[in-house]
Structure 1
Amino acid sequence: MTSKHDLSIVVPVFNEQDNLRKLMQEIAAALDPQPIDYEVVFVDDGSTDESLAVLKELAASYSRLRYISFEENRGQSAAFCAGFDEALAPRVATMDADLQNDPADLPAMLRLYDQGNEMVIGWRVKRKDVWIKRIGSKVANAIRNRLTRESVRDTGCSLKIMDKDMVCRIPRFNGMHRFLPTLMKMQGARVAEIKVNHRPRHEGESKYGTWDRAVAGAYDLIGVRWLQGRHFSYRIREKNR
């Protein structure tokens, strides 16, 4: 399927009914003045509130908005992957639906992407989370970088822009979204980081506890380290047709 879109924004949604209208307004305010054509793909991850109803309402007002809805909650990684599959543009951006990511950062990220990178990652220099969440994230990031031999400052920031073909080729598993920079590099991606704004949660509550993240992240880290050790690549010198 061909598309005129330059950018597809993928947004997982789980019980974010009070944030969706403002988020779509902010995305439009950030990107409508830019010389790009974009779409927004919301993925309702089996919400039990009125999120799906709000998305249907917004779709009637915003022609750039599309949505898909899961029959049941499948997790953030599954929601991202479903959005990647639905995306029509050659590059995809990801962000959370809780308004802590700022869509106003997207234009600068796009400019950095166009400088020869296949992935641009947001770096939340001044995080607006509770102290236990900030400390837990720093510890997890340090352990993840040490074991995967990375130097990414903020792998947990959902605000990213990626080459669609590359991100659709990476291995898919629960927790995959926590390792996107490493998995993209395994595809040969050039990855850049940029400082982005981070805001307090607008409405609702965090869907993940610090302990839950730590346990799941440790389990996934073992698998990703194994993938790195077994990964191979090749270049074809020539072929006859």
Structure 2
Amino acid sequence: MSNPNALAEKEKGNQFFKEKNYESAVNCYSKAIEYDRTNHLLYGNRSQAYLNLNRPDEAVKDCNQALKLDSNYVKGYLRRGTALKMLSDYEKALTDFKKVLQLEPNNKQALKEVQDINELLSPKKAGLIEPISSSDTFYSNNKQIETLPSGDEKQSNRLNVRPSSKKSLPISNRVINRIPINTFEFYCDWRELSTDSTKLNYITNIGVTKMREIFRDSMEPFILPFDQICYLNCPK
């Protein structure tokens, strides 16, 4: 980076990012861009800060600019794909992750994202309606509704309604069993876990060795609560 002022603001932004002060990081990266609008890394860094602030629209704009400056910028495609996925624009996100694999065929994050999005776009995940047989049972508003038999067996036009024994799992008790491959996936999962028990189950499933690998090169340190640290370090 040739402009010393841009470099200074970039370094300040990186420090704020490490401290999870993403708003201040955005401000510093913005100042750096004012000094040097030709450096794709500045837009790339700011896009990641926007992602961490849950501002995917702005992240997409920065990635677009970064990729105009460097069409082979892998992180630009990764971050734009992530932002588009957050915006539920799965087709465009898939295109970006596939572009990453063209540039880096063994990129683990892109491979995982392509797999996840393909599952989301599959007929079952997309909610396509399948043919209904006369014996199908439906669940709605915690009541079980069975279709009436056809032909001579039909004796009434009324549906037989009774309380269902099936209950949806409260979101607070959700269990996530997948192993994240980077800090972004980790924090996406972590935010969905709202109880200590589900969080403990999640990090126990990952394991200490994998946790160290995930956060080894991260700009963000992850600090576990004391009781969870004790649990992980206890002999099994």
Interval of TM-score (by shorter of Structure 1 and Structure 2):
under 0.3
Higher strand share: 1
Give the alignment's TM-score, normalised by structure 2.
0.24
- Ranked by relative contact order (alpha carbons within 8 Å, sequence separation 6 or more), the top structure is 1
Higher helix share: 2
Give the alignment's TM-score, normalised by structure 1.
0.24
